[in-house]
Amino acid sequence: MGDRTGVGLTECAILEALEALGAHPGRRYRRNAAVLAAVEDRIGLAPAYAYEILLDLARPWTMPLSLIQGQGNFGSRGNEPAASPSYTESRLAAAGRVALAAERGDIAPVPIGLINGNVYAKGTRPPFRPQAVIDALRLVIQRPRVTSKELTDVTGPPYFLNGCIVTGDFTALAAGRPTVLRLEARLSISEDHHSVIIDNFPPTVNPDDTAQSLASRARVRDWEAQHPSLHRRAHLPLSNLRDESTQRHGDRLICVPSHGTSPEQLQEQLRDIYGVYTTITAALPRPLPALLRSWARAYPAEELLTSLAALEDAIRIQPARS
């Protein structure tokens, strides 16, 4: 990956291709087929492989800081595939332009790789809240003797853009030890107290598959009478399941409990169903305070503060995403 940003080499090649094609922030989009052809010329990576990476750089649910802005059908978190690269377009996001400037040495390094992690690509490095990472770096630049605990507290726990609930041993993660994180969708009772709402799905979960799994567990089985205790453990008391997902509001399932089951009882059962929750193994290459201090020591303080301000500006103008 790029030493000055933590962005992968293929990702950097995609950003460079967009820049060379004139697809700058706020300017015209370029057809992704042309972008992929330029990437193949640069690093020899076949378009089918590069396209998946390009899609991740633009999709609003993969990482906290998008490096690309996309136009067209980039697929869904469920089972809807992206359209052919001949029918989708991209341009650099403001953060993508900052990443290129840092890689070229026009500005000091920026911690994009630390912010975005690589869980979206089935890696183990979790993402963190962008502003929290910037604040922690400013703190260690301005106060080199700041304690490791202070830095960890400022950075906070891993952060996934879609707002799922994250629990686990954050102390072990910050210390550089592998740990298991539980990512859970948000479960809430509807205002009319008639249903349970599932939204903010974990980023590694396919909501369409989760809906199918819930519907399957709600069906009456032929063996119910012969194995009542097993049926009670496996059966989900659902009378209705509605998919109210929209592009604007994201993935959203409405679960109506069966007669005799309260929304609170259904809510508790749903928490333990895989797909409503998932687990990932998370690990950092070094303890989190050490990673932050290594950035702070790399270049003069004034240069680093300037590059952090540029990244902060890019975050500020990043379009709101569901």
Let me know whether 110 and 205 are in one domain.
no
30-31 and 68-71: which strand pairing? unpaired
pLDDT of residue 219: 76
Rounded Cα gap, residues 190 and 236, in angstroms: 18
The answer as to whether 174 is a domain residue is no
The answer as to whether 140 is a domain residue is no
User: Domain range spanning residue 229?
Assistant: 186-275
Let me know whether 76 and 19 are in one domain.
yes
Residue in 118, 182, 128, 184 with CA at minimum distance from that of residue 156: 128
- As for how many domains the chain has, the answer is 2
Partners of residue 186 on adjacent β-strands: 199
Let me know whether 195 and 305 are in one domain.
no
Let me know whether 214 and 290 are in one domain.
no
Let me know whether 290 and 253 are in one domain.
no
Rounded Cα gap, residues 288 and 275, in angstroms: 29
Let me know whether 268 and 291 are in one domain.
no
> 């399932």: which residue's tokens?
253
The answer as to whether 161 is a domain residue is no
Rounded Cα gap, residues 153 and 135, in angstroms: 11
CATH number at residue 121: 3.90.199.10
pLDDT of residue 233: 61
Any residues with CB less than 8 A from the CB of 130 and at least 6 apart, and which?
A: 64, 65, 115, 311, 315
pLDDT of residue 230: 46
Let me know whether 211 and 236 are in one domain.
yes
The pLDDT tens digits along the chain (322 residues) read: 467 899 999 999 999 999 999 999 999 999 999 999 999 999 999 999 999 999 999 998 889 999 999 999 999 888 899 999 999 999 999 999 999 999 999 999 999 999 999 998 889 999 999 999 999 999 999 999 999 999 999 999 999 988 899 999 999 999 999 999 999 999 999 999 999 999 999 988 999 999 999 998 887 555 454 545 544 566 899 999 999 988 777 899 999 999 999 999 999 999 999 999 999 999 999 999 999 999 888 889 999 999 999 999 999 887 655 4
Let me know whether 194 and 297 are in one domain.
no
DSSP-based helix, strand, coil % in the chain, nearest 5: 45, 15, 40
Let me know whether 121 and 69 are in one domain.
yes
The answer as to whether 32 is a domain residue is yes
The answer as to whether 222 is a domain residue is yes
The answer as to whether 209 is a domain residue is yes
The answer as to whether 89 is a domain residue is yes
Let me know whether 120 and 14 are in one domain.
yes
pLDDT of residue 322: 44
The answer as to whether 290 is a domain residue is yes
Rounded Cα gap, residues 59 and 72, in angstroms: 11
Let me know whether 298 and 245 are in one domain.
no
Rounded Cα gap, residues 166 and 159, in angstroms: 8
CATH number at residue 233: 3.30.1360.40
Let me know whether 289 and 213 are in one domain.
no
